[in-house]
Chain A
Amino acid sequence: MARGVGIIGAGPGVAALHLPTLARVGDAFRVVHIADGGSGRSAALAARVGARSSTGVDAIMADPEAEVVAICSPPAQHAAQIIAAVAAGKRAVFCEKPLGTTVAEAEEAVEACRRAGVPLIVGTNHYFDPAWGRAKHHLTVSGGPVVSISVTLALAPNARYHELVTELPASAAAGRGAPDLTRAAVAAGVVRQLLTGLAIHDMPLVRDLVPRFERVVFARALPPLGYAVGFVAGGVPVQLTTVMLPEGADTLWRIAVATASDRLDVSFPPPFVHAGGARVRVRAADGRDTIYAHDPGDGYVAEWRALAELLDAGLPVEYDELLDDARYALRLADAAAELIGAAA
């Protein structure tokens, strides 16, 4: 029988991502409650799926039908809400990335889950993408050591993809003005926020390949909104470049891993859509150009399936891995922000 899910958050991420995704795993989960933070948006969203709605977290925590809590609120609230869900006796927690905005927060939240034995999944959908498993297998069995990593994200407006998976009221899609990146404090804050909100999609994958973070070499905010960050991990150069563009080409979201012999590209589909997994292409030393078969499964569905497996099969939860992912991303974000601030 499908388990009841209570969703904390009622923004576009819930409307365009989690509700359509949960509709794809209806055999395992059903939405029973949606709570907003005061916007009043939960009522309309809940009505669409026949769920209850509320404001704040108290009602959802007290709702016995909400066995699983999905935390899709602003990042600063994640850790406290994980702890509250554990205290309320919820059976499992799905938390959107990041786990917390500081290492201390993330540690506290993970330890709460570990002590209570509550399964926890963080919504790093790229890590759950079936293509990443294939890419990792290739990197493990051939290609030799990693010599560089590039993560390139040219992000088309989210509204373009929202329209493909839901119907949002016009007000929900309104954008915000561009920040003044010429002010170092603003630029540092923007880069930190983007690294913990966007780059974090790929940090578990990067950490998988180069787990020993060393130092940030450069960090810069890019207009209108983005960053260029270069860092070293395990002696390997890693560059992260992201720009959120106001129009134009569809999203390019690619992790390129160069090994001693190959270049492996993992190209993810745009956010929000369910267009299957990433595309994996390998240029090998012997001249072969290999494109792996495309998997129809995507990371958004896979992360919810992973949570169902944890609950159904009682599989051990990799709390330490979740924590190390959070530490890695937060350390990078702090070091990059510090470098930008120091350059002022």
Chain B
Amino acid sequence: MTTPVRTDLDAYRIAVAELPESAVASRDTRGAVAVVPGGDGWWVVASDAIAAGAAAVVVAQPAVAPIEALEALASLAGATPVVVERPLLRADLVAGVGASIEELPAPGALVVECHAPARTLGPALRDAIGWARVLARAPLAPLTTESWGGRVLALLGSTEGASVSIVAAAQPGAPIPGRMRITTMAPTRVEIDADLETVACVTDAAGRGILPALFESPERVALRRAIAAVRAGEPPSDLADLRHDTALAAALLAAPTA
């Protein structure tokens, strides 16, 4: 059985071609997985797709959205799956890391370092916070935060009691999507080091393991997840996660100095 996919993005056309038993290109939005480019205003296009009867929406590499827009989109989407393709927070790597740490207690502290050119610091910080949320295995909230001249110092707390220390700064020479490292301070240490590629390491007393490299394109991963969500009738938490991470990143970047 194939699921129709409506997209104008070349990378997603290729992804459709790489899912010949699951996906088929379609010119209609109704009943299809609609792929929305993540440029400014993507939330309007996504809302239009849902209103037009899309079975699911994939948002490709979304720009930072206003919180109110994300809330309105979530309200409109209801049970319609919305899958978000985030270049520095790949869902398949999140799943792999999650499987590696599911038996371990949540860490008590995490360290986040995030750098990106000024114009992409917002989405980079959003995705770095996303990794912190994944590794802390709980929602986060700001405790103390200051921002000045494209630089951020912040301490977050998780609902489970973990502390998350964050430094972020505009760095002209960083890769455009950003460069980030998230480290758990625990007997079993998890470290995510991401820029143009992402390396996830798990270290304990027995040694250091590096999670397998990912060779599937992020677009194919996003389409697979959207198709699976449509078939299962279970929307993923992508939009809620994006809203959580976006709100925190916005709060950090907007926090005044003392």
Contact = CB atoms under 8 A, between A and B. Distances in A.
Contacts of A306: none
Contacts of B149: 235
B203 A241 contact: no
B2 interface: no
Interface stretch (B56-64, B89-97, B166-174): B166-174
B258 A215 contact: yes
B155 interface: yes
A238 B143 CA distance: 17
B148 A150 contact: no
A249 B185 contact: no
Nearest to B188: A248
B115, B149, B185, B186, most chain A CB atoms within 10 A: B185
Contact of B185 (A150, A154, A232, A258): A154
B3 interface: no
A239 B189 contact: no
B144 A218 contact: yes
A230 B111 CA distance: 11
Interface in A165-206: none
A283 interface: yes
A237 B151 contact: yes
B195 interface: yes
A322 interface: no
A247 B205 CA distance: 8
Contact of A228 (B109, B169, B196): B109
Contacts of A263: 113, 115, 174, 179
B71 interface: no
B130 to A, nearest CB: 19
Where chain A touches its partner, the secondary structure class is strand
Interface in A226-251: 226, 228, 230-232, 235-239, 241, 243, 245-250
A152 B167 CA distance: 12
Interface string B147-189: 0110111110000000101111111111100010101011111
Interface residues of B, number: 43
Contacts of B204: 248-249
Interface residues of A, number: 43
Nearest to B164: A228
Nearest to B189: A249
Contacts of B31: none
Given A217-B153, A285-B174, A248 B108 contact: no
A119 to B, nearest CB: 37
B165 A239 contact: yes
A148 B152 CA distance: 9
Nearest to A232: B153
B146 interface: yes
Given A226-B185, A230-B167, A261-B173, A218 B143 contact: yes
27 contacts: A144-B172, A147-B151, A147-B170, A147-B171, A154-B185, A154-B189, A217-B146, A217-B258, A222-B108, A223-B108, A226-B109, A230-B153, A230-B154, A230-B167, A236-B151, A237-B169, A239-B167, A243-B109, A248-B186, A249-B187, A249-B203, A249-B204, A250-B203, A256-B181, A261-B173, A285-B172, A287-B175
Interface of B: 108-109, 111, 113, 115, 143-146, 148-149, 151-155, 163, 165-175, 179, 181, 183, 185-189, 195-196, 203-205, 208, 258
Lowest 3 CB-CB distances: which A-B pairs, in order?
A: A248-B187, A261-B173, A285-B173
